A = this chain, B = another copy of it.
Amino acid sequence: MDEKCISKAVIRRLPRYYRYLGELLEDGVERISSNELSTKMRVTASQIRQDLNNFGGFGQQGYGYNVQYLYTEIGKILGLDRTHNMIIIGAGNLGQALANYVQFEKRGFKVVGIFDVNPVLKGISIRGNEILMMDELPQYLKDNDVQIAALTLPKNNAEETANLLVENGIKAIWNFAHLDLEVPEDVIVENVHLSESLMRLSYNLNCYVTEHKK
């Protein structure tokens, strides 16, 4: 298969297409043209067609795109047609929030384990998962098929924990810690740096104020 590397900009937009198509589907819309969709999403129709054609021709000339079909296909591209088992490392507020978030499972991301170093948390149950201690992790990963680990712990422990995860076969890390992880190149890291997001917000807030002071 001649699966060329798709640009990151395109991948970044895919989940958003998926979301809009899901909404159209809920509204019972059967077909949509790139032009209609472009209006809704505030992007160009050209971009939509270019993006989709990275993966193949999902549309039909003179008709547009079948919403259900396109939704399903993008879902497949994003890997939402299969189940991914996920563990959460760090059972603090954020870790627990992720563990409690029901919607992920609907998309095929199933939280199967939660780990922490704090013995106070040991055995506490979150949506059917008892919090386990970190020293149980290596054995757990041998016994269970886990693809994704969400890292929701302070940055000082993050690097060594990431190494431990990689050593035990984890292939994808959803990183919420405030640092850039150093991992082998076959391990995927997706960063969610909340504080950086908040700083961008702050930048724009000041920017606006500055501009109007002129």
Interface residues of A (CB under 8 A from B): 1, 3, 11-12, 14-16, 18-19, 77-80, 82, 84, 92-94, 96-98, 100-101, 103-104, 107-109, 147-148, 171-172, 174, 178-179, 186, 188, 190, 192-208, 210-211, 213-214
Contact, CB under 8 Å: B97 / A203: no
Contact at B3–A195, with CB atoms within 8 Å?
no
| Bound CA span A168–B98, Å | 31
Which DSSP category, helix, strand, loop or mixed, fits chain A's interface?
helix
A-B contact pairs, 14 of them (CB 8 A): A1-B213, A1-B214, A14-B199, A15-B195, A77-B203, A78-B203, A79-B199, A79-B203, A93-B93, A93-B97, A108-B202, A188-B201, A192-B194, A192-B197
CB-CB < 8 A to A103: which residues of B?
Answer: 178, 195
- Whether the pair B148, A205 counts as a contact (CB closer than 8 A) is yes
Query: Do the beta carbons of A107 and B198 come within 8 Å of each other?
Result: yes
* Nearest B-chain residue to A187, judged by Cβ: B208
- B-side contacts of A101, CB under 8 Å: 93-94, 194
Across-interface contacts of A92 in B (CB, < 8 A): 97
